[in-house]
Structure formats: structure tokens, C-alpha cells
């Protein structure tokens, strides 16, 4: 009787460990990093944007979305990503050509039960590099943006240590999005920004992660010219199977979160500040937790 009850727990714990050790995060792009008006790129100029990303979880779910209590995870991740944007005056098909790049600085503290005992480690280091070319259009009632860029695995990676700051593989990321202003005064805005990632082989193991789709969306209202409030959400899903002898068996992990956001503009400093919190209400074959983002943007 005992063995009958213990076996599902042991199998679930093994799968849970694989999920954290080989598939967290699920993609290079962290869902929730962008919020309301995510698809709107700024007018021509040079900008610096700094993302501060916080993630906490004490729950790991199986493929059915049920908690695997035996895993007993405690995970905290902080990432700082300075991003340089240059939107040029050059136009292609009426859209402004832009370029941007960012690099991650990442701290991870992960504790989780495994079949071999409790894993407990933390690491701070340089993560991967992203560079992108974009086209953006601005109409009276809508903004549009598209882009393409690679993620380069310049950060340290590992086959067994999930706290390593680098993902360990190249990724092609394609982006398309739209912000729709629902009234003539452009106070109400509905936006969606979609990302699609095509991954290459992992350099530390026989494993190619499946392709990943992500959408960041938001509904916002401009209270004044300096204050926007709204609700922002995200959904991310691995849409193709993992490949390779070391690939985890959970091929289609997914997660969804939603929460409030406020954006403030300080005219004296020329600084936009975005504050956002999102609760993950759905997770399958991955962690379920809480996301917080503080973003600072300034034009130079």
C-alpha cells in the first residue's frame, strides 16, 4: 500500500525537478516584462529604459495544473536589464526604423526538493544579450510595431544548476503588436504585444527547447497627461515539443498572469516610471507565482 501511494509522488517529484532544472525559465523572454501600451514604440530619438524584474514562487505544478507538494519550492529571481533604444528618422513602408539592445544581470535563489535531496543554491551573474531591429507606425487611433532580434548566449549556463544566469542557447525572437486608442482623446487604450521564439540546441546538453509563444496585453486609461492606470496580463506557452535525449518530457508548459499597473511621468526629469504587479492564476509543468516589474524610461 505504501509503495502504491509513494510512487506517484516520487514520479511527480522527479518531473518537477526536471521542470526546474531544465525548463525554467521556459523562454528567453520573461512574460510580464512589458505592460500597458506594450506595442507602442516611442517617436524618433534615443532612449534608455531600465527594467527591474522580480519573481517569487512557492508552488510548482504538474502538467494538469495541480500543485506538486513534495517539491516544496522557494524561488526568488531578480533581473536588471538596461536597454538602449534608438528610433531613427529613416522610414520603411511608412514605419520608423529602430534599433535596441539589452543585457541581463540576474540573481536567482532556488530551493526545491529533488529525489537526491534538497537543492539550495543562489547565483548572481551576467545573463544573455538581445539585439533587435524594429519598425513602428503611429496613426491617430492606433500604434503598430514589428521586430526581429536574436538572443545570444553570452551568460554562464549549466546542465544541472538552474540558478545559472544564462539560458545556454541561441534564440530567434519575432515581435508584432498593436495599441488601439478607443476614443478620440486617446485616453482609453487596448494593447497586445506578441513574441515568438525559435530556439537552437543547448550547448551544455542534448536538448533543443521547443518554440514559445508569448503575449503581453493591457487595458489602460489616461487619468491625466502624467498618469496612466490599467490592468496588464500575460500568457506564455511552449507550442512545439522539446527535442533531444536530455529534453524534459513536459513538452507544452504554459503560464498566465494578470494584475494592476500605474505609469507616472515626471516632466522635470523627463522620466517615465511604470509599476506593475501580476499574479499567476494558471501554470502547467512549471512554477506558479508572483511577478513585479519597475521600469524607468528616459529620452536623451
Instruction: Give the domain CATH number at 38.
Output: 2.40.128.130
User: CA-CA distance, 193 to 178, in Å (whole number)?
Assistant: 7
**What total of structural domains would you count in the chain?**
1
State which residues form the domain around 107.
2-299
Beta bridge partners of 49: 83, 297
* Helix, coil or strand: residue 296: strand
pTM to 2 decimals?
A: 0.91
Q: Give φ, ψ of 245 to 5 degrees.
A: -65, -30
Average pLDDT over residues 160-168: 91
Confidence of residue 4 (pLDDT cuts 50, 70, 90): very low
> What is the structure's pLDDT at 22?
43
Tens digit of each residue's pLDDT (9 = 90 or more) over 239-298: 998 888 887 766 689 999 999 999 999 999 999 999 999 999 999 999 999 999 999 999
User: CA-CA distance, 52 to 80, in Å (whole number)?
Assistant: 5
Average pLDDT over residues 210-223: 97
Quote the mean pLDDT of the chain.
91
DSSP secondary structure string for all residues of 236-265: EEE-S--BSTT--S----EEEEEEEEEEEE
> What is the structure's pLDDT at 191?
98
Question: 69 to each of 120, 152, 230, 277, how far by Cα in Å?
Answer: 17, 35, 34, 25
| pLDDT beyond 90 at 235 | yes
Cα–Cα nearest to 96, from 132, 146, 50, 140: 146
Higher pLDDT, 170 or 245: 170
User: CA-CA distance, 206 to 245, in Å (whole number)?
Assistant: 6
> What is the structure's pLDDT at 250?
62
User: CA-CA distance, 287 to 19, in Å (whole number)?
Assistant: 8
Amino acid at each position: 500500500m505504501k509503495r502504491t501511494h509513494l510512487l506517484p509522488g516520487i514520479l511527480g517529484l522527479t518531473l518537477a525537478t526536471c521542470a526546474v532544472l531544465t525548463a525554467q525559465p521556459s523562454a528567453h523572454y520573461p512574460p510580464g516584462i512589458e505592460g500597458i501600451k506594450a506595442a507602442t514604440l516611442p517617436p524618433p530619438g534615443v532612449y534608455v529604459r531600465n527594467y527591474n524584474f522580480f519573481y517569487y514562487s512557492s508552488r510548482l505544478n504538474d502538467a494538469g495544473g495541480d500543485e506538486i507538494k513534495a517539491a516544496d519550492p522557494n524561488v526568488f529571481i531578480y533581473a536588471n536589464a538596461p536597454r538602449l533604444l534608438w528610433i531613427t528618422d529613416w522610414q520603411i513602408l511608412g514605419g520608423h526604423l529602430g534599433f535596441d539592445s539589452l543585457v541581463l544581470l540576474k540573481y536567482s535563489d532556488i530551493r526545491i526538493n529533488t529525489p537526491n535531496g534538497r537543492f539550495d543554491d543562489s547565483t548572481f551573474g551576467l545573463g544573455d544579450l538581445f539585439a533587435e531591429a524594429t519598425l513602428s507606425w503611429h496613426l491617430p487611433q492606433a500604434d503598430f510595431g514589428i521586430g526581429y532580434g536574436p538572443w545570444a548566449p553570452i551568460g554562464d549556463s549549466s546542465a544541472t544548476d538552474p540558478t545559472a544566469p544564462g539560458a545556454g542557447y541561441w534564440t530567434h525572437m519575432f515581435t508584432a503588436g498593436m495599441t488601439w486608442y478607443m476614443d478620440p482623446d486617446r485616453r482609453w487604450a487596448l494593447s497586445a504585444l506578441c513574441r515568438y521564439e525559435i530556439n537552437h540546441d543547448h550547448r551544455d546538453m542534448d536538448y533543443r527547447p521547443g518554440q514559445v509563444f508569448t503575449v503581453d496585453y493591457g487595458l489602460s486609461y489616461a487619468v491625466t497627461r502624467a498618469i496612466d492606470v490599467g490592468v496588464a496580463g500575460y500568457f506564455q506557452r511552449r507550442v512545439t515539443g522539446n527535442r533531444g535525449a536530455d529534453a524534459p518530457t513536459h513538452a507544452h508548459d504554459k503560464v498566465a498572469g494578470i494584475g494592476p499597473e500605474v505609469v507616472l511621468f515626471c516632466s522635470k526629469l523627463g522620466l517615465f516610471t511604470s509599476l506593475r504587479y501580476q499574479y499567476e492564476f494558471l501554470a502547467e509543468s512549471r512554477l506558479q507565482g508572483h511577478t513585479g516589474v519597475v521600469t524607468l524610461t528616459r529620452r536623451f
